[in-house]
Structure 1
Amino acid sequence: MTMTAQTNAALRADAPLNFDEAADYIANNTFDKPTLVVSRDRIAAQYDALHNGLGRAHIHYAVKANPAPEIIRMLVEKGCGFDAASRQEVELVLSQGAHPSTISFGNTIKRPVDIAFAHSTGVTLFAADCVAELDKIAEHAPGARVYIRVIVENSLADWPLTRKFGCADSMLPSLLDHAASVGLVPYGLSFHVGSQTRKAEFWNPVLDQVAPLWHAAIEAGHDLQLLNIGGGFPAFYGETVEAPRAYSAAVIAAVEARFGTVPHIMAEPGRGMVAEAGHIAAEVLLVSQKSEEAQRRWVYLDIGRFSGLAETEGEAIRYQFVTEHDGGLVGPCVLAGPSCDSADILYEKKPIDLPLDLRSGDRIMIKNCGAYTSTYSSVGFNGFPPLDVIVL
């Protein structure tokens, strides 16, 4: 059986590949469990597009998006930097040849022993958003460079990240002062516009908030060198997103218009780097109706929220699906995973339209899953296997 490898709408004009390698591989192979297939060539093309658009800004890939060693090694060879969130991620990128100077320990919540470990390997750049974290860094990485993350108040992203990380604007001056008082180097600021910020213009309200903070810190005497603009670079999930080179160029133009000449600009794409490079090969386990009058079928897949599709939480990320029955009549479906957990439902509030001919045993491809799937996969909840990964 051959699954139709539909043209990926995300293979846009400024990406040099004219072939969806991962989709072709899935179409021509069989799998005995859910499998993520990722194309390194597509990631390399995406990196080049973002790099060209960002200009002098340096990319630090958000390792959490997809930590496959083959991907890390390829990005090391291309001169990419890395945003690490744990000791394990620091160890991973070092094992694949990254130099410590290219690593930012970007999690604002770190164990003291992990700070000490990273510092012992030569990592000198750390994130913080409160006095307690600065004190930990000062004790376990004396003399380190730190950048302070600020809370974003006006995100226009599909998935705002405004609660867990960052400090209030009013706290920034005292945190910079405190960093200097405990022997650290107050090196810069960071923020995150929110995951899946689909249009470059959506950055503007956030930049308007942060730019005055940057200028005020400079005027207060802090020799800030680094502006970390974080992630937010989007992927295609059915709604139009701008091409990566044009998008990133527009973002940098907006940054420079508000911040002026900044010595070092760092960007941390994760989703925008790897999502479109990977698809998941899955299987339909069951198609059922809850009553004779039900207008929606229930479709159960062999992969769910606990085996890689955690980003369907709140139906925030809406994946696209390819089946062997595409082109026929479709109808609304509630989509769910295989586990015996009532929370393992992917889409219910806004049903997914799938072919009426869909049956148990049919193959289904879930598109643009290269980010935040393998890393969210459990070790085997309910006995179902974790997501397998093939890197081409």
Structure 2
Amino acid sequence: MDEIGTIIGEKPDKAAQIEGLVFAAVLIDPEGRIAELNYAAEMLLSRSEKRLLGKTVASKIDILDDRVLAHLNEPESPLVARDVGLRVNDQESRVNLTISPLASHPGWRIMTLSDTGRDDGSNEREAEVASSGAPSILAHEIRNPLAAIRGAAQLASRKLEPKDRGLAKVITDEVDRIARLIDRMQQLGGSTREELASTNLHEAIRSALATVRAAGTEGVEITEEFDPSLPPVLANRDALEQVVMNLVSNACDALRASEQANPAVIVRTRFVSGFAFSAVHDGKAVKLPIEITVTDNGPGIDEALRDHVFEPFVTTKKSGQGLGLALVRKLVRDMHGRIAHERDTRLDLTHFRMHLALAGDGEQT
């Protein structure tokens, strides 16, 4: 067997296995210093191994949780922490974190970091299936009796006195409203995905913003801050436009409802060279370096709802149906991307950040 064949046939050693992980792994010595880290850790922390080796974890990894920081002083104690704040390049995100002491080497530990959008456990998948499938099942059960109600109302209106026909119209109008809601529920619960292709990001965003502006922004200033050098992304053009329209329209609605002084929405694009998220598609990790952020200066979503904004039927609008952001999440995931909500309490800004892959990465054939 030639040399290449030998390499392919060999079992990867432990170092190669750790290097190949899609989540960050950091080896910590007994003095709390960074002794080694894998490529995913360099990407997550936006720092090269050369700049991190020999430095203490507390000085180089900006963990925004005092309990985790205190735990770093307990080298023999394991830790599993979810939804921990992490700041990289002045951008805050949420990660899941573990610290595992090495029994064979007292004082040595392995710390892992993974963004909260990368949980691939079966429980989460089952919950997602349940949350997306339930609306579709419910829509199917409602549609037939709804059609019967509408037909009966139309038939009754022909026999009613003119002064009473308004009541029948109320019935048909409400049935039509529910039918539109059902259409959105079925779209949310659908399992089919639109074809993905190389897409000009800024053309899609500008098309979406033109639609929002045509509908009326009522004093809300919408600003574009685009990186013109960005390459095409892997997306479905219609789905991408729908996502941007939903996010910007929601921001405008929230600003108008709050009567915010100088209401403003910023749509920003950039290439994230270091702090890059990943998704798993067809069994391999796909980098998501293209970031689209929709930011508004409104009061933000109620704190009690912030962890549930992408769930069906969760809304802060008086007349809202609570399906808009759930549909946004589905469309983004169908494009192998991810989306997250953040509230910057220091600057009083609300961010919705979407990350997509470059065209060619995970592209359908």
Normalised TM-score (structure 1)? 0.21
- TM-score in terms of structure 2 length: 0.22
Higher Rg:
2
Select the structure that is richer in helix.
2
